[in-house]
Structure 1
Amino acid sequence: MTEQWFKDSVVYQVYPMSFQDSNGDGIGDLPGITSRLEYIKKLGADVIWLNPIYVSPNKDNGYDIADYEAINPTYGTMADFDNLLEKAHELGLKIVMDLVVNHTSDQHKWFQESRKSKDNPYSDYYIWRDPVDGHEPNNWVAAFGGSVWEYDEGRGQYYLHMYAPSQPDLNWTNPKLREAVYSMQRFWLDKSVDGFRMDVINEISKPDGLPNMTGEVTAGTTQDFIADGPHLGEYLSEMNEKVLSKYDIMTVGEMPGVTTEDAIEYTGLKSNELNMVFEFEHVGLTNNPDTRLGRWNDVPVKLTDLKHALNRWQIALDGKGWNSLYWNNHDQPRAVSRFGNDSDEFRVRSAKALGTTLHFLQGTPYVFEGEELGMTNGHFTRVDQYEDVESVNVYKEMVEDKKIVDGPTMLKYLANMSRDNARTPMQWDASENAGFTTATPWYAVNPNHKEINVQANLEDPDSVFYHYQKLIKIRHESETIRRGTFEALDEDDDQVYAYRRHGEDGTYLIMTNFTDQTVTRDYQQADASELVISNYQDDQGTTLRPYESKVYRFAK
């Protein structure tokens, strides 16, 4: 095993509810994932990141955990998990668990005990405060809307929840709580799990004193205000010292609002905290001009903004830290719909172009299930088609309660940005339920599964799947692509994203046309030693056709 193996890896993200049902209940499960391991191996990925599979009432699709050390019966048993882990390891695949320790479910034993009284052993596992003049302790707004405070009649106090009221925040100032978390981490790592993806980990340290905010108070501004609190580095260092450093694992921290400086502090080569972070800069480029609506919009991302964001992270972390590379995940709309063109004419071409653009950057690439097929947004048109708590709540708040926007406009915003777009079942074949289940699926299958599915991709040698497979193979074989330096090119070009990578096996030139027009760019590609990969069958030199993406290598 190489030192810092995460730098040489490609991660495939599995959303268990939507990946593969094995028992005919309409919900994906662990045996279903096990049955598809060969597919993930065929793609070429090295690591599987599993979204939460713990016992949960599923108010937030598993991100409200009721028991950290037990498997949700909907997904199977601990024996099923052990079998998945064993089979994955036999194939050379690693398993990374999703760790949610900013909050739990209100059904967790810790919270059930904590709410009983102010002096029981779990009383300070959560953040409780007395009313202030008969009202909430401060003016913060929860990520899913409404106050962050929920009154509990039994304790006669408010508890803090940065997300839904059913997701109370843990009190990380309590050493006993921290040790309970570390004990739980050891439980999984001693099973030979290969690491953790840590949900909103930069929110575990709240501002001292929990002060009122000044200025505009919204879900977004509150999240920015509470992120990267004064003790975050202290908690992460302690976690690393007591647990993470004892195992050969990969760790990635989801950090909304994180800056490059923060990332270097928490993941830098001289730090002892995490391997990498998930930043949100490039996926948060089109916030609505009406700040009350936050990220809800239907505006296309400007290429120049996208390049500036991605390049800034490439340059800042080069030689100092490590990037996570992603277009989409379970919390983001589908990549080809958001950043590319999901029309029948250009979907395949632009899906390949997005893959090429991302996989030649410096960092660890993440592929979200179905991305390698060019799966698209759901294109829903009615509010009753949405399942996600965030989407349902924001429609009610913005349209019905506050009347900030009309229904048809909000539906356009949801169609563009809702998390549900990523959560439609995996499209395995053209059958009625896309091969995902023999029952009624827990969530509607995208109707375009008849054209976009695994079977069709595997039968077509020019498919998006085989393009991703080739991208991963090139990365595995090239030290320059995995670890070489990054050079930005023409950041103000609003049509083409171009950059170079420099390293042991020469220089690579990456060029992607992000438009449906034919353009011309000359980066001396005529002098290249070889055309490494392209999403067109022929090379027309300086000409870049619609959504054309190609990579050249120049020998040293």
Structure 2
Amino acid sequence: MLWSCTSQRDAAKTITKPVSFVVTPDWARNAVIYEVNTRQFTKEGTFDAFAAHLPRLKDLGVDILWFMPIQPIGELNRKGTLGSYYSIRDYKAVNPEFGSLDDFKNVVKKAHEAGFKVILDWVANHTAFDHIWIKEHPEWYNRDENGNIISPYDWTDVADLNYDDNPALWDAMIEAMKFWLTETDIDGFRCDVAGMVPTAFWEKARKELDAIKPVFMLAEDEGQRDLMVNAFDANYGWEFHHIMNSVAKGEKNVTDIWKYFAKEDSLFPPSSFRMMMTSNHDENSWNGTEFERLGKGAKAFAVVTYTIPGFPLIYNGQEVALDKRLQFFEKDAIDWEKASDFTNFYRHLNELKKSNECLWNASNGGSFTPIKTDLPAEVLSFVREKNGNRLLVFVNLTDREQTIHFEDKEIAGSFTDQFSGLTVEIAENQPLILPAWGYLILK
């Protein structure tokens, strides 16, 4: 990658870039991930009801279906009526709210037949307070000075597991993960708060899981670089997500985006993926919908997540412009009948992702080079290029129309806008006008 500022490059050089020894499945090289909240996905909230949407999701163009936790939810200290998916009572069972184990196997089978891959949310850091391990293996839990099992943070519905000097816990947890690979044929895991569990555990798990079948592992973490060396293929682009939220509010600007990439490029192995998103289950339920946080810039920021290095996430409902916070502990179904131009918008982004090698994930994609303009703080401008496949991207990240003048003669030429199909001329003495939150992807 190339950066717009020498000082940023020099700062990045002070950090030694790690090397990844993870072998990422080939099918992930240009994949788009889609998060499934089974409870809220349909009025029924079941696997069978979800399966009816597979043809629609295939047409949308997503590749990896990430199911939020599907195991039985604890009743002791439960939050709300239905409880949190992340308070797991039994790692090897299915929440009857969603259906049976056979129902889930059927969904995975149908998904595979349609060309999808399936990963399951895995909660290794904590269990429900009525998990059988509480009675059978109380030594596997962290306790306070009075000997009481504790919760991590203020997550009062879950009990904190202790991985220190508990090899039997490591083995039991990995055996539970293997169960889902062998019994349901899933393709990997999204691992909740992965940084709160020892890296050595994840490395052991990855090795044993890969021995069964090649898996894709996504870490809900961004701070621990070592997770990406021998355990995970991808982690979260949390910092970038929060920068986008701040840019939308006018608290940051495009220069902060370039500072992020100067740092990010030095932190992680080039073959690892950063998951980029404008929403997910946490943001939607707790911090607001994309429209609350990003306003009229929701599409512009989505374009950014699809065209920068990384791989993009769609949270269920975004493709119909989901504009409500889905309740986390209660039933709150998505309305799929609402017509929205976001459906075609995301379908088109997914097509662009697949058909342009320069946009593929991580090191599978192309170079990422800033374009010099007179609006470095207002318009995110860059070139992606690989093997002759070249795209110019311009995104106005302000609520005002911007007139762009170019300082780089090498980008001059006649291009086709990948959204409208119109011809766009780029020349040194010919300004380019972008409306508020406007964007162009030129080829």
Give the TM-score category using the shorter length: 0.7 to 0.9
Pick from 191, 198, 201 the counterpart of residue 198 of structure 1: 191
Looking at structure 2, the residues matched to 32 and 480 of structure 1 have their Cα atoms a distance apart, in angstroms, of: 37
User: Counterparts in 2 of 1:126-141, with a 5 A limit?
Assistant: 126-131=141-146
Looking at structure 1, the residues matched to 357 and 370 of structure 2 have their Cα atoms a distance apart, in angstroms, of: 19
Looking at structure 1, the residues matched to 303 and 244 of structure 2 have their Cα atoms a distance apart, in angstroms, of: 23
Task: Give the direction of change, closer, same or farther, for the CA distance of 1:61–1:538 in structure 2 (3 Å limit).
Answer: farther
- What do the CA deviations read for 1:482-535 (whole angstroms, capped 9, x no partner)? 111222456983321222212113332111112232111134697345324237
Looking at structure 1, the residues matched to 442 and 421 of structure 2 have their Cα atoms a distance apart, in angstroms, of: 14
Looking at structure 2, the residues matched to 535 and 66 of structure 1 have their Cα atoms a distance apart, in angstroms, of: 51
In the alignment, which residue of structure 2 is the partner of 1:481? Answer: 359
Task: Give the direction of change, closer, same or farther, for the CA distance of 1:242–1:527 in structure 2 (3 Å limit).
Answer: same
Shift of 1:172: 1.2
Q: Is 1:340 matched up with 2:294? A: yes
Secondary structure class of the residue paired with 1:337: helix
Q: Is 1:323 matched up with 2:274? A: yes
User: Counterparts in 2 of 1:64-143, with a 5 A limit?
Assistant: 64-111=87-134, 113=135, 122-131=137-146
Mapped contact 1:161–1:169 kept (Cα < 8 A): yes
* One-letter identity of the residue aligned with 2:278: W
Shift of 1:300: 5.4
* One-letter identity of the residue aligned with 2:369: E
Looking at structure 1, the residues matched to 359 and 423 of structure 2 have their Cα atoms a distance apart, in angstroms, of: 23
In the alignment, which residue of structure 2 is the partner of 1:137? Answer: none
* One-letter identity of the residue aligned with 2:172: A
Secondary structure class of the residue paired with 1:365: strand
Looking at structure 2, the residues matched to 3 and 86 of structure 1 have their Cα atoms a distance apart, in angstroms, of: 19
Looking at structure 1, the residues matched to 215 and 378 of structure 2 have their Cα atoms a distance apart, in angstroms, of: 40
Task: Give the direction of change, closer, same or farther, for the CA distance of 1:97–1:510 in structure 2 (3 Å limit).
Answer: same
Looking at structure 1, the residues matched to 434 and 152 of structure 2 have their Cα atoms a distance apart, in angstroms, of: 46
* One-letter identity of the residue aligned with 1:248: P
- Residue correspondences, number: 394
Q: Is 1:239 matched up with 2:213? A: no
* One-letter identity of the residue aligned with 2:187: D
Q: Is 1:162 matched up with 2:152? A: yes
The runs of 4+ residues in structure 1 deviating greater than 4 Å are 285-288, 298-301, 386-389, 489-492, 523-526, 535-541
Looking at structure 1, the residues matched to 58 and 398 of structure 2 have their Cα atoms a distance apart, in angstroms, of: 33
In the alignment, which residue of structure 2 is the partner of 1:229? Answer: none
Task: Give the direction of change, closer, same or farther, for the CA distance of 1:168–1:489 in structure 2 (3 Å limit).
Answer: farther
Looking at structure 2, the residues matched to 305 and 424 of structure 1 have their Cα atoms a distance apart, in angstroms, of: 39
Mapped contact 1:95–1:194 kept (Cα < 8 A): yes
- Higher RCO (C-alpha under 8 Å, 6+ residues apart): 2
* One-letter identity of the residue aligned with 1:235: F
Q: Is 1:527 matched up with 2:406? A: no
Mapped contact 1:529–1:552 kept (Cα < 8 A): no
Q: Is 1:49 matched up with 2:66? A: yes
Secondary structure class of the residue paired with 1:323: strand
Task: Give the direction of change, closer, same or farther, for the CA distance of 1:511–1:285 in structure 2 (3 Å limit).
Answer: closer
- What do the CA deviations read for 1:300-328 (whole angstroms, capped 9, x no partner)? 55233761465246633473532222121
Secondary structure class of the residue paired with 1:550: strand
Q: Is 1:544 matched up with 2:434? A: yes
Secondary structure class of the residue paired with 2:170: helix
* One-letter identity of the residue aligned with 1:337: F
Looking at structure 2, the residues matched to 194 and 237 of structure 1 have their Cα atoms a distance apart, in angstroms, of: 17
Mapped contact 1:510–1:550 kept (Cα < 8 A): yes
Shift of 1:552: 1.5
- What do the CA deviations read for 1:317-370 (whole angstroms, capped 9, x no partner)? 4735322221210000356325532xxxx4xxx433222211112222111112
Looking at structure 2, the residues matched to 427 and 494 of structure 1 have their Cα atoms a distance apart, in angstroms, of: 38
* One-letter identity of the residue aligned with 1:508: L
Task: Give the direction of change, closer, same or farther, for the CA distance of 1:329–1:337 in structure 2 (3 Å limit).
Answer: same
Secondary structure class of the residue paired with 1:551: strand
Q: CA RMSD in A?
A: 3.0
